Amino acid sequence: MNKYTFHTTRTPWRLGMLILFAVLAAAGIILSVVQGVADISIRNVISILLAPTAATADKIVWNLRLPRAITGALAGSNLAMSGAILQAVMRNPLADPHIIGISSGAGIAGILILILFPAYTYMMTPAAFCGAMTAAAAIYVLSWKNGIKPVRIILAGVAVSAFLSAGISSILIFYSDRVHGALMWMVGGLAARSWNDVSVIVPYAIIGFVLAMSGSYYLNILQMGDDMARGLGLSVERTRVLLTAVAALLAASAVSVAGLLGFVGLIVPHIVRLLIGADYRYIIPGSAVLGAAVVTFSDTAARLLLAPAELPVGIIMAFLGAPFFLFLLRREM
Amino acid sequence: MTEAVIHMEHVAVQIGKQEILHDISLNIESGCIVSVIGPNGCGKSTLLKVMSRMLPGSTGNVYIGGRDICSFGRKELAREVAVLTQIHHVPDDVTVRELVRMGRFPYRTFYTIASAADRIYVEKAISAVRLQHCADQLVKTLSGGEQQRAWLALTLAQRPKILLLDEPTTYLDIRHQLHMMNVLRHCKDKLHLTIVIVLHDINQALQFTDAVIVMKNGRIIQTGRPQEVITERVVKEVFGVRAEMCRTSEGKPTILPVGIYQTEEQP
């Protein structure tokens, strides 16, 4: 490719990729509604969606598959955007809400609510957000020494993550009689998601997307290095804190409906960056739609691979994500 | 004497337990190029950071154009003082024009998009550093010297009155070094800039700058016109290097380092 013509075709290319990701996400949602243990043809699905009746097939599509697909798509979106923001803010390609312990922070708060205060389940997302923010703050405090160094962040994140996981495990052992629901939740699963879960995540997905998009130009400035960004008049610390809060909010909302779903936040922003480039004004929307696509496809695979039994989607994500993580490590180091 | 555009009074900087700058007071006059020279770790970069309010832990007073530097908003300060730091990073797929456009950041408010003025200043900055021919190329495909000029264009797009440059010629070959210095002289005249530049090459300080600040161990040893300040004695005192003053065929002074003084204490 000639480097002169490259840039005149670049914006259409980026928009084209965004559209492609969106098509994939739509395909993922449709596939997860059509495919399943109960055999319902695509024509049936369409007629059910247009004019629902009281038949069993209708209930499966409307009350089981559709809310599950939407919840999964939005959780994937939020985690991917959260990962994209964290990678920029922490200037570390390995940052991801799961690896760095932000999800674990949300997770421990979620588990506490789930096991100790089941009556307050509606407080799940705010509590998860507080947990995520506390974890993020702990990571910054632990890794702060005359500024932020990417390696220190990842080490502090891994330490925080291990510490919180130990906390989660001990809660599970103390309350082993109430564990079952929590266990599914810990590996990240979308089984039995309802319209209730959709209504929990939708507002956060919308708010999070708007905030992430409005922060995207600031993320671009931050990429030039702290001192250059400061020289351009950006309040680096304040921008970091605010955008980390946005990332924590996105991760916490996803964790509170889908559990500790790992690796989405790591893989998706990298794929987007490879295909679209380093401009966060495109990476954020790209991550949002591709994250939805990845999770819906993985969830469909999780339901079908061992049908009629069902794997939690988190396990599929980990099988895909761990090798990808190693690949990135080898490439970056 | 023209007005002092940068005025520092009793500035000290302490990082951890180490004092990096001790009681520094100085005046920098409007419309000249001032070089800062001195051995590694003597506080040159820190001095620039104080002038651009990048260090929170400093004591003393700094005035920019007569106004206390602390009274500026961040973006407001970025419209007065632009900085090119030693360490900066460009994402893989940013073109020269996109990079320079980021220099308009201090003029953006949350909702505005690029104005006509923004576009004009971006183009002016690109032509001031003579990169019109590769404005749409990726920054990382350019040579080191061109990359450095692209970064310079970014700071020019800020339309500052003061430009602070931290070793902009280090790592460049001699042709690109001279090109950079010529561009700076040209910008100073055309845009009425005041430029403070950290240099390692003493001869560049002699050749291109109007005044020089010589530093050692966090203190200012001497300031003044480079031809008067830079002498064999000062080079010995500051760098511990034996140097000989020579004249070019045009009669301009240059300095030739010829050896190291063996002292018990490393300078």
No. of helices (H) and no. of strands (E), chain B: 9, 12
Residue A38: domain span: 13-332
The per-residue pLDDT for range A247-265, each reduced to its tens digit, is 999 998 998 888 888 889 9
Q: Can you tell me which residue has the tokens 């530093």?
A: B215
* Residue B221 belongs to a domain: yes
List, for residues A75-100, the tens digit of each pLDDT value. 999 999 999 999 998 888 888 888 88
Assess B247–A contact: CB distance below 8 Å, yes or no. no
Q: What is the DSSP string of A193-211?
A: --HHHHHHHHHHHHHHHHH
Question: Residue B122's pLDDT is what?
Answer: 94
| Judgement on whether residues B181 and B235 belong to the same structural domain of the protein | no
B86 and B42 belong to one structural domain: yes
Least confident of A19-23, A62-66, A278-282, A283-287: A62-66
CA distance A292 to chain B (A): 26
Residue from B93, B99, B140 to probe the interface with A (highest A Cβ count within 10 Å): B93
Is residue A2 in a domain?
no
Query: Same domain for B179 and B260?
Result: no
> Considering the domain boundaries, does residue A8 fall inside one?
no
What are the backbone dihedrals phi and psi of residue B28, each rounded to the nearest 5 degrees, phi first?
-120, 125
Instruction: Residue A233: list chain B partners with CB under 8 A.
Output: 73-79, 105-106
User: What is the share, in percent, of chain A residues with pLDDT greater than 90?
Assistant: 29
Query: What's residue B1's pLDDT?
Result: 44
Residues of chain A with C-beta less than 8 angstroms from the C-beta of B92: 277-278
Taken in order B222, B225, B229, B235, is the CA torsion positive or negative? Answer: positive
Measured between CA atoms, how close is A18 to chain B, in angstroms? 17
B254 shares a domain with B221? no
Output the pLDDT for position A307.
73
Q: What pTM does this model have?
A: 0.88
More confident residue, B136 or A8: B136
Residue B99 resides in a domain: no
> Contact A233/B77, CB-based, under 8 Å?
yes
Residue B240 structural domain? 231-267
- Beta strands of chain B (E only): which ranges? 4-15, 18-29, 33-37, 58-64, 67-68, 81-84, 162-166, 194-198, 211-216, 219-224, 241-247, 253-260
Count the neighbouring beta carbons within 10 Å of the beta carbon of residue A26: 15
Q: Is the peptide bond before A308 cis (omega within 30 degrees of 0)?
A: yes
Nearest to A231 among B78, B93, B110 (CB): B78
Tally the domains of chain B: 2
Top pLDDT among A145 and A224 is at A224
* A107 closest CA partner among A48, A165, A170: A165
> Is the domain of B82 the same as that of B165?
yes
Q: Is residue B25 part of a domain?
A: yes
Residue A249 in domain: yes
Contact criterion met (CB below 8 Å) for A139 and A103: no
Dist. CA B137–CA B96, nearest whole Å: 6
User: Is the domain of B266 the same as that of B166?
Assistant: no
Does any domain span residue A3?
no
CATH of the domain at A328: 1.10.3470.10
Mean pLDDT by 10 residues, chain B (267 residues): 81 86 92 93 91 85 92 93 88 88 87 80 93 91 91 95 92 91 92 94 92 94 92 92 90 89 62
A285 in a structural domain: yes
**Interface check B148 vs A, CB under 8 A:** no
- Chain B segment 116-135 residues within 8 A of A by beta carbon are none
* Assigned domain for B122 exists: no
List pLDDT tens digits, range A141-188: 888 776 667 778 888 888 999 999 898 888 888 887 777 667 777 777
Query: In this structure, are B243 and B224 located in the same domain?
Result: no
pLDDT of residue A126: 86
Residue A84 lies in a domain: yes
The CATH code of the domain that includes B48 is 3.40.50.300
Check whether residue B236 and residue B225 sit in a common domain: no
> Residue A6: inside a domain, yes or no?
no
Number of structural domains (chain A) is 1
Q: Tell me the residue length of chain B.
A: 267
